[in-house]
Amino acid sequence: MDAPDYQLITKSDELAPALAALWASPVIGLDTETTGLDAHSSRLRLLQLGTPERSWIIDLFHFPAGALGPVRELLAAPHPVKVAHNAKFDAKFLLKHAGVRLGGIFDTYLASLLASAGNESDRHSLEAVVQRYLGIQLDKSAQVSDWSGELVGYQLDYAARDAAILLPLREKILERLDEFDLMVAAGIEFECVLPMAEMELAGFYLDSGCWRAQLERVRAAHREASDELQSELGRGASQMSLFDAPPQINLDSPQQVRDALARIGIEVEGTSESKLHKLAREHAVIKRLLEYRSLSKSLSTYGESMLDFIHPVTGRLHADFRQIGSPTGRITCSQPSLQQVPHTVEYRSCFRAPEGRKLVVADFSQIEMRILADFSRDRALTEAFHSGADLHRTTASQMLGVALESVTPAQREQAKSLNYGIVYGMGAEGLANRIDSSVQEAEVLIEKYFAAYPGVDRWLRDAAERAVKEGRSRTASGRLWVYNFDVFDRAQMAQMRRVGKNAPIQGTASDIFKRAMTLVDAGLKEKDAQIVNLIHDEIVVECAEAIAEEVAGIVEGAMVAAGREFLTRIPVIVEAVVSDAWLKK
d(CA 485, CA 464): 14
> Per CATH, is 379-476+492-499 categorized as 1.10.150?
yes
- The CATH number that domain 318-378+477-491+500-585 falls under is 3.30.70.370
- pLDDT beyond 60 at 40: yes
Q: How confident is the model at residue 99 (pLDDT cuts 50, 70, 90)?
A: very high
**Cβ proximity of 199 and 534 under 8 Å:** yes
86: phi then psi, degrees, rounded to nearest 5: 60, 60
**Cβ proximity of 442 and 78 under 8 Å:** no
* CA-based nearest residue to 119, from 328, 327, 330, 332: 327
Interstrand relation of 105-107 and 27-34 (parallel, antiparallel or unpaired): unpaired
> What's the whole-model pTM score?
0.92
d(CA 229, CA 234): 8
- Mean pLDDT calculated for residue range 261-272: 83
Give the pLDDT confidence of 184-202 residue by residue, as tens digits. Answer: 999 999 999 999 999 999 9
- Mean pLDDT calculated for residue range 390-410: 90
How far does the chain reach from its first CA to its final CA, in angstroms?
Answer: 58
d(CA 56, CA 22): 9
Task: Look at the chain and count its residues.
Answer: 585
> What pLDDT sits at residue 2?
64
> What pLDDT sits at residue 191?
98
> Per CATH, is 6-180 categorized as 3.40.50.261?
no
- pLDDT beyond 70 at 246: no
> What pLDDT sits at residue 244?
56
Give the pLDDT confidence of 281-328 residue by residue, as tens digits. Answer: 788 888 898 899 989 988 888 888 999 999 999 999 999 999 999 999
- The CATH number that domain 208-304 falls under is 1.20.1060
**Cβ proximity of 162 and 96 under 8 Å:** no
Tell me the torsion sign for CA atoms 558, 87, 322, 203. Answer: negative
Q: What is the mean pLDDT of the chain?
A: 92
| 17 to 21, 71, 458, 575: CA distances (angstroms) | 6, 12, 63, 51
- Mean pLDDT calculated for residue range 82-94: 98
108: phi then psi, degrees, rounded to nearest 5: -70, -25
Q: How confident is the model at residue 239 (pLDDT cuts 50, 70, 90)?
A: low
* CA-based nearest residue to 205, from 552, 585, 584, 541: 541
Say what angle helices 379-387 and 367-376 make with each other, to 10 degrees: 140
d(CA 128, CA 141): 14
Interstrand relation of 538-544 and 357-364 (parallel, antiparallel or unpaired): antiparallel
Spans of all domains in the chain:
6-180, 208-304, 318-378+477-491+500-585, 379-476+492-499
**Cβ proximity of 339 and 333 under 8 Å:** yes
- pLDDT beyond 80 at 177: yes
> What pLDDT sits at residue 3?
66
Farthest CA pair distance, the chain: 94
d(CA 217, CA 300): 14
- pLDDT beyond 60 at 241: no
